Structure 1
Amino acid sequence: MESSLPQLFNNAKPFLAVILVQFGYAVMSIIAKFALNQGMSPHVLVAYRMAVASALIAPFAIVLERKSRPKMTLTIFAKIMLISLFEPVLDHNLYYTGLKYTTATFTTAMCNMLPTFTFAMACIFKLERVEIRRVHSQAKVVGTMVTVGGAMVMTLIKGPVLELPWTKGRNHLDQSGASGGHEHDLMKGTLMLMAGCCCWSCFIISQAVILKSYPAKLSLAALICTMGTVEGTILAFAVEWRNTSVWLFHLDSKFIAAIYGGMISAFAVTTLGSVMKKRGPVFVSAFNPLSLVIVAILGSFLLAEEICLGRVIGSIIIVIGLYLVLWGKSKDEPQSKPDGTLVRADQQMATINDGIQSSSP
């Protein structure tokens, strides 16, 4: 009995690790939304968050990969500059701006569309094989359409507000300010979130190419975070050049959002990378909807976010589409081999990247 307890704990560790990361992501969404509601610039949040992540990841990359790190060339450096522009700069800025216009729950649900966007773009660039006569390929195609349909339902259909035990009798505030501009802000936020997912997918596909010539995953993560900090700071200065006060903050929600965001990014790199080596990328991806549930509960409790029937139905449709795509991906031949592919901030981008690499020509 005593010998079985350590074995049971070892078997449970991947599950506990992924659940902990998803909970960390959910808390980050709530903190970020609260900071944005308090007037924090989404562009400044990205710059500060990436600076913290760089400071935390770089020492590990320097020490752990000092012997295995390949030589840096001008071509590789230029590629890293380019993909860091996709993610974290454009993706994070679009993500946080979309979060500002919508709700934490809505944003988290939309981010579950990432595998769909990645699959579609991989097909466009011929990195993904689609054999329409095979069931798993049909599942990926159908999952893509289902996910897009879920996003349309979430955006266009609101439905009645669902009263939860802790929200009964509470006066729900319009999440976007004046009621007249709510639908406009929701549509604008949706477009930004979808554009952010496209940038995220471009990053995944580009990363699959760079990893072939620069396989030091931790060092690549540190370099991307560092270049993202530089480029994100330049973008923030360009957008907020008339309002320098946005760079100032005290020990408040803005400070916590920047520090905690960097910490969860660094934590995800090390934790999810280890889990993927043992259980593979599909295992990690399967837990993505968990953060949606946590954010929905915390958002309604802490931010007084409305939970509407239409948004719930749309979220469920997106999750169904996500699992169809992931199931089809898991049945690809040859099957993806977990190799600890780079995992980055906010959501597990690289959970799909490993599968893309295995099916690329």
Structure 2
Amino acid sequence: MGTWLTNAKPYLMLLAVQFGSAGMFILAMDAIKKGMSHYVFIVYRNAIASITLAPFAFVLERKVRPKMTIRIFSEIMALAFFEIILDQCFALLGMKFTSASFLSAVMNSAPSVTFLLAVILRLEHMKIKEVACQAKVIGTIVTFGGTLLMALYKGPIVSVMGSSFSHNVNNPTPTGNHWIMGTCFLLIGCAGFSAFYILQTITLRKYPTEMSLATWVCFFGALQSSVVAIFAERHHPHAWSLGWDTRLFAPAYAGVVTSGVQYYIQGMIIKSMGPVIVTAFNPLRMIITTTLACIVLSEQLYLGSIVGAIVVVLGLYLVVWGKSKERKGQSQMLTSPVEDNSQEDQCHLPVTAPSNDNKA
């Protein structure tokens, strides 16, 4: 029994992470519906996250934390911009025009977007004759196809528990134009998260202290998002007020659980088992979020969203499978006594990103 529990512990922790992320989406959507500005939400979330992470980073990494340089500082500022401004801001903005379940589904395309950006930046070398590379390319195309399907085709409403009661004055159904615009915002958020992951991989080589890096990113992200929020809500000073409901609990939950505990759990599992297994659990978050959104928020669920989400998951697993096969090939090559000159053509950057929900 003890051995089984030890072996199952990483998977149970990943399952808990997905429930935590899904809860954050639901709470954030509810807070926004109650009038909380998503710009202000992001400021509070990252301020709370940096306060939560700072003591642990200071104590646990004080002996291994490298000296801060101008180069590292500039990269941290860029990381904060990609993750907080592009990813979180546009993800929540896209969620306002669509739904929490739709946000969770579209964010599953992040690994494919990461792969595309890595190819454009020449961090990922294409060897199109290899099965692994073909799987990643086809998976990327399928993922984008599924996202477009969700954006352009809504189809009939699928009644799931309380979802049929969602059409009311306080929760209007997004129009087609809003749905497409929201999808574009979500894709910008995916691109921001993918750029964050690529730069984070590079920065960690020079600043290999994950918790300290996360603390700095959240801190500077809070400062950057404060500037955006002050400008965006300059005519609405009441937007900064909090209430004794999800307008207070949602940013606190997101800062402590999603940006604090989740960082630690994912970092620990990535070190021991690699990023592939973390990404493979992402579709569970989509299922949990959709179910909770229908029950708690009474969101409408469309057939197009279901079919598109299935297509996105299939594309995601093609990318994950291709990367996993490629990593096995690289491991065999490294352990082989024969040197292969083509090794330098292998991919230098993992493209499967952990579900850093800091996303929204």
TM-score after normalising by structure 1: 0.89
Q: % of aligned pairs identical?
A: 39
List aligned pairs for 1:42-191, cutoff 5 A: 42-164=38-160, 166-167=161-162, 170-173=164-167, 182-191=175-184
Asked if the contact 1:176–1:182 (Cα under 8 Å) also holds between the matched residues in 2, the reply is no
| Residue 308 to residue 92, structure 1, CA distance change in 2 (3 Å) | same
Q: Which residue of 1 aligns with 2:340?
A: none
Asked if the contact 2:76–2:217 (Cα under 8 Å) also holds between the matched residues in 1, the reply is yes
Asked if the contact 2:279–2:354 (Cα under 8 Å) also holds between the matched residues in 1, the reply is no
Asked if the contact 1:102–1:176 (Cα under 8 Å) also holds between the matched residues in 2, the reply is no
Q: Distance in 2 between matches of 1:145 and 1:300?
A: 29
Give the counterpart letter for 1:224 in structure 2: V
| Residue 342 to residue 219, structure 1, CA distance change in 2 (3 Å) | farther
In structure 1, runs of 5+ residues without a counterpart are 350-361
Give the counterpart letter for 2:244 in structure 1: L
RMSD: 2.3
Give the counterpart letter for 1:300 in structure 2: C
> For 1:113, what is the secondary structure of its paired residue?
helix
Q: Which residue of 2 aligns with 1:280?
A: 274
| Pick aligned residue for 1:240 from 233, 239, 244 | 233
| Residue 327 to residue 176, structure 1, CA distance change in 2 (3 Å) | farther
Q: Distance in 2 between matches of 1:342 and 1:275?
A: 13
1:348, distance to aligned residue in structure 2 (A): 8.3
Asked if the contact 1:159–1:309 (Cα under 8 Å) also holds between the matched residues in 2, the reply is yes
> For 2:304, what is the secondary structure of its paired residue?
helix
1:130, distance to aligned residue in structure 2 (A): 1.7
Can you list the C-alpha shifts for 1:11-35, whole angstroms capped at 9, x where unaligned? Answer: 0100110000000000111111111
Asked if the contact 1:149–1:317 (Cα under 8 Å) also holds between the matched residues in 2, the reply is yes
2:251 paired with 1:258: yes
Which deviates more, 142-151 or 70-79? 70-79
In structure 2, runs of 5+ residues without a counterpart are 332-346
1:39, distance to aligned residue in structure 2 (A): 1.1
- Count residues with an aligned counterpart: 341
| Residue 115 to residue 345, structure 1, CA distance change in 2 (3 Å) | closer
TM-score after normalising by structure 2: 0.90
| Residue 195 to residue 315, structure 1, CA distance change in 2 (3 Å) | same
Q: Which residue of 1 aligns with 2:336?
A: none
Q: Distance in 1 between matches of 2:152 and 2:15?
A: 31
| Residue 286 to residue 24, structure 1, CA distance change in 2 (3 Å) | same
1:158, distance to aligned residue in structure 2 (A): 1.1
| Residue 305 to residue 174, structure 1, CA distance change in 2 (3 Å) | same
1:301, distance to aligned residue in structure 2 (A): 0.8
Q: Distance in 1 between matches of 2:44 and 2:9?
A: 31
Give the counterpart letter for 2:248 in structure 1: F
Give the counterpart letter for 1:253 in structure 2: T
